């Protein structure tokens, strides 16, 4: 399937991390999504019911970013992907990238991210 919806830079403040200062002080996280689905019907009908509600997808991602803390962004990405597949039956596959630009590493970096891909 070559049809895709891409959402870039969903931002939220969360308390994810391994270290105490991360879970106490929190930081910003960003999520990018690539949603793979057959969009043929929507391309003909021009009807929201034939595609995916981008707003609902963004809200779902923010709920995870701002929700229950996890230690690893791998876990955060996996949780987002699983809920997307469980909730939006039109979606055949999803790639979730979680960015943690303020990750506590010993050198200066622009960003650290994890990408996972899940399919039905």
Residues with catalytic function: 100
118 strand-pairing partners:
94
Contacts of 22 (CB under 8 A, 6+ apart): 15, 16, 104
Question: Which residue, among 84, 69, 97, has the nearest Cα to 9 in the 3D structure?
Answer: 97
Instruction: Outline where DSSP puts E strands in the chain.
Output: 4-14, 27-37, 91-99, 113-119
């Amino acid at each position: 399937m070559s049809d895709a919806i891409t959402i870039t830079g969903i931002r939220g403040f969360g308390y994810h991390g391994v270290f105490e200062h991360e879970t106490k002080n929190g930081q910003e996280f960003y999520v990018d999504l690539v949603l793979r689905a057959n969009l043929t019907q929507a391309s003909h009908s021009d009807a929201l019911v034939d595609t995916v509600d981008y707003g609902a997808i963004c809200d779902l991602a923010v709920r995870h970013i701002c929700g229950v803390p996890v230690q690893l962004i791998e876990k955060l990405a996996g949780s987002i992907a699983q809920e997307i597949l469980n909730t939006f039956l039109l979606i055949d596959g999803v790639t979730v990238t979680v960015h943690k630009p303020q990750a506590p590493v010993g050198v200066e970096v622009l960003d650290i991210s994890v990408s996972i891909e899940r399919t039905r």
